A and B are shown apart, each in its own frame.
Chain A
Amino acid sequence: MWLELALISIVFLGIVILGNNRLGTMIQLFALQSLVLSATPLLVYPGRHAVVMAIVTIILKVFLMPSLLFWAIRHVAIRREAQPLIGYGTTLLLGGFLMGVVFLISSNLDLPVQETSNLLVPSAFSMVMIGFLLLISRFQAITQVIGYLVMENGIFLFALLLLENTPLLVEMGILLDIFVAVLVMGIVVNHINQEFGSASTINLTNLKD
C-alpha cells in the first residue's frame, strides 16, 4: 500500500514536471520526486542495504544535484523554457499516451524476478518515457538535464527489482556516475551559454566555420 502510494506520487510528480515551464519549479519538483524515490528501497526490501541506498540517494539527488542545477540557472540567468519544440498540452497528451502503452506492455512482461508490486515496472517505465519526452521536446539545456535525471529515476526504480542481488558497490558506482554526469552537464551548459549567449541547444545544430 505505502509502496504503491510512493510509486503513484512519483508518477504524479513526473506528470507535473512534464507540464511545467519554470526551471526553478522543475528542479524543486525533481528534488521532491527523488525524496519520494529514496523511500522506495526501504519499502521494497527493508534492511541495511536499503538504508544506505536511501541515505545516498537523499544526499545526492535531493541536495547536491538540485543545488548544482540551481547554481547553473543562476549563472545562465534563465527562468523558463523559451520555445518548446512541442507545446505543453501536446507533450502532456503524448505523455499520457506513452504511459498507456507502457502500462499495456509491462503487464505482459515476463520478468525473471518476483515483482513486489505490479505497479513498480509500469511506473519505472513511465518515468523513463517522461524523461525521454523531456529530452526530445525541449531546447533548454537545463530542461534536458532534468529530463535525463527523471529518466534515471525511472531506471533506479527498475533496478529496485534486483536490489537484493546487486552489490552495494555497483549501486554506489551508478549513483556516482550520474553525479559526475550532472556536474559535467552543468559545466557544459555554462559553456553553451558563454559561447552563444543563451543556453538553448538549438544553437548547437548550426554549422560554423
Chain B
Amino acid sequence: MGIRILLHISLVMIFSPLLLGIAGKTKAFFAGRRGPPLLQPYYDIGKLFRKGNVYSPTTTWIFQAAPIVSMAAVLVSSIVIPMGSIEAPLEFWGDVILFTGLYALARFFVVIAALDTGSSFEGMGASREAAFSCLAEIIVFLDFITLALLSQTFVLSEMIKGNILSSWQLFGPALLLAGASYFLVFLTENARIPVDDPATHLELTMIHEAMVLDHSGWDLAYILYGSAIKLFVLGALFVNILIPFHGLSVVMQTVFFWGGMMMLAVGLGIVESCMARLRLNRIPQLLISAFVLALVGLFVVLIKGV
C-alpha cells in the first residue's frame, strides 16, 4: 500500500512538469519560434529550489505554509486517480468529495497567503480566484453527479473506469456535454487562456499570477510545481473520462493514457495559441455556459434513465 502510493506520487511528480513543457513547445510552434526546451519547467523549478527566500515583515507563518500546503494537497489528490494500467492506490466510498475538498484546501491557503501580504494587488487576485473557482466547483460537482449516476457508484476511480465504455455507447451525448464543461473548468482551474494568461506578470487583468507575486525562492518553486501537478491530475481525470481504455491490455492502457496526456498538452497549447484571453467580466459568463452544459448533460442522463 505504502509502496504503491509512493510509486504513484513519484510518477506524478516526475511527469507533471513535462506537460507544461509540451504545451509551451506547441505554443512556440504556432508562433513560429523554436521555443524553450521541453524540460524547461524542470530547469525553472530546479533553479528556484537553489535560491533563497525573501519574506516581507508583514507576513506571518501562513505565507510560508501556503505553498507547501497547496502543493501537498494537489499531490495527495492524485492518489485517487488511476493512471493507465496503474490502479489508484486509494479508493473508498465518497473519495470524490475528498478530491474536490483537497483542491478547495489548496486554493484556500493560496488565497489567504495572498491576503496575508497586505498588498492590494494580491488581494484583488485572491478575490478573483475565489469568485471564479466558486463558480467552477459547482460545475465539477455537477459532472461528478452525472458520472456517479452513470456508474452507480461514488468511488472516483470506479466512476471513471467502471462502465465508462458502455456509458459512452448509451449516453455519449451526455458524457460529451459533461466533458466539454469539465474542459472549461480545467482551463479555469489551471489559469490558462481564455480565462487567465499564465505568461503575463504585472497586469491588472490577471488572476492566478497576481496572487503569487510575493512568493520567491523555493516557495515559488512549490507553487509552480503545485500548478504543474494540478494540471497533470485534472488532465488525467479528463483523459480517463474521454478515452475509455479500461479493460484493454496493460500495454494498450499505458499507451492510451500517456498518449492521451500528451494529446491533452498539445491541445492545451493549440487552444492557447488560437484564442485570446477573455475580458474579465466575460469569464463568469463562460463559466455559466459551462454550468448550463453540465446541467443539460445531467438532464439527459436523468431523462433517459440509467
Contact = CB atoms under 8 A, between A and B. Distances in A.
Interface of A: 1, 4-5, 7-8, 11-12, 15-16, 19, 88-89, 92-93, 95-96, 99-100, 103, 106-107, 118-119, 122, 126
B169 A19 contact: no
A8 B173 CA distance: 6
A1 B292 contact: no
Nearest to B174: A8
A138 to B, nearest CB: 15
Which residue among B169, B173, B177, B302 has the maximum number of chain A CB atoms within 10 Å of its CB? B173
A5 B285 contact: no
B176 A8 contact: yes
A99 B177 contact: no
A7 B172 CA distance: 12
Contact of A5 (B172, B289, B292, B296): B172
A8 B289 contact: no
Contacts, number: 65
B302 A103 contact: yes
Given A88-B285, A103-B303, A119-B303, A93 B292 contact: yes
A15 B289 contact: yes
Contacts of A119: 173, 300, 303-304
15 contacts: A1-B172, A7-B173, A15-B293, A15-B296, A88-B285, A89-B285, A92-B288, A93-B291, A93-B292, A99-B295, A99-B296, A99-B299, A103-B303, A119-B300, A119-B304
Contacts of B177: 8, 12
A103 B176 contact: no
A100 B285 CA distance: 19
A96 B292 contact: yes
Contacts of A107: 303
A190 B1 CA distance: 73
A87 to B, nearest CB: 8
Nearest to B286: A19
A118 B301 CA distance: 11
A158 B87 CA distance: 46
Interface residues of B, number: 21
Nearest to A117: B304
Interface of B: 169, 172-174, 176-177, 180, 284-285, 288-289, 291-293, 295-296, 299-300, 302-304
Contact of B304 (A95, A106, A118): A118
Which residue among A5, A15, A93 has the maximum number of chain B CB atoms within 10 Å of its CB? A15
Contact of A16 (B172, B284, B289): B289
- Top 10 closest A-B pairs, CB basis? A8-B173, A96-B292, A103-B299, A92-B288, A89-B288, A4-B173, A19-B289, A89-B285, A96-B295, A88-B285
A110 B256 CA distance: 45
Nearest to B291: A96
A5 B177 CA distance: 10
B173 A19 contact: no
A122 B298 CA distance: 13
A89 B296 CA distance: 16
A44 to B, nearest CB: 16
Contacts of B174: 8
Nearest to A93: B288
A19 B299 contact: no
A7 to B, nearest CB: 7
A99 B300 contact: no
A96 B172 CA distance: 20
B289 A92 contact: yes
B77 to A, nearest CB: 29
Which residue among A8, A95, A99 has the maximum number of chain B CB atoms within 10 Å of its CB? A8
A39 to B, nearest CB: 15
A72 B302 CA distance: 42
A99 B288 CA distance: 14
A194 to B, nearest CB: 33
A12 B295 CA distance: 11
Contact of B296 (A4, A11, A19, A118): A11
B301 to A, nearest CB: 11
B292 A15 contact: yes
A27 B303 CA distance: 31
Given A7-B173, A92-B289, A99-B299, 4 more contacts: A5-B172, A100-B299, A118-B303, A118-B304
Contacts of A4: 172-173
Contacts of B299: 99-100, 103, 122
A92 B285 contact: yes
Contacts of A19: 285, 288-289
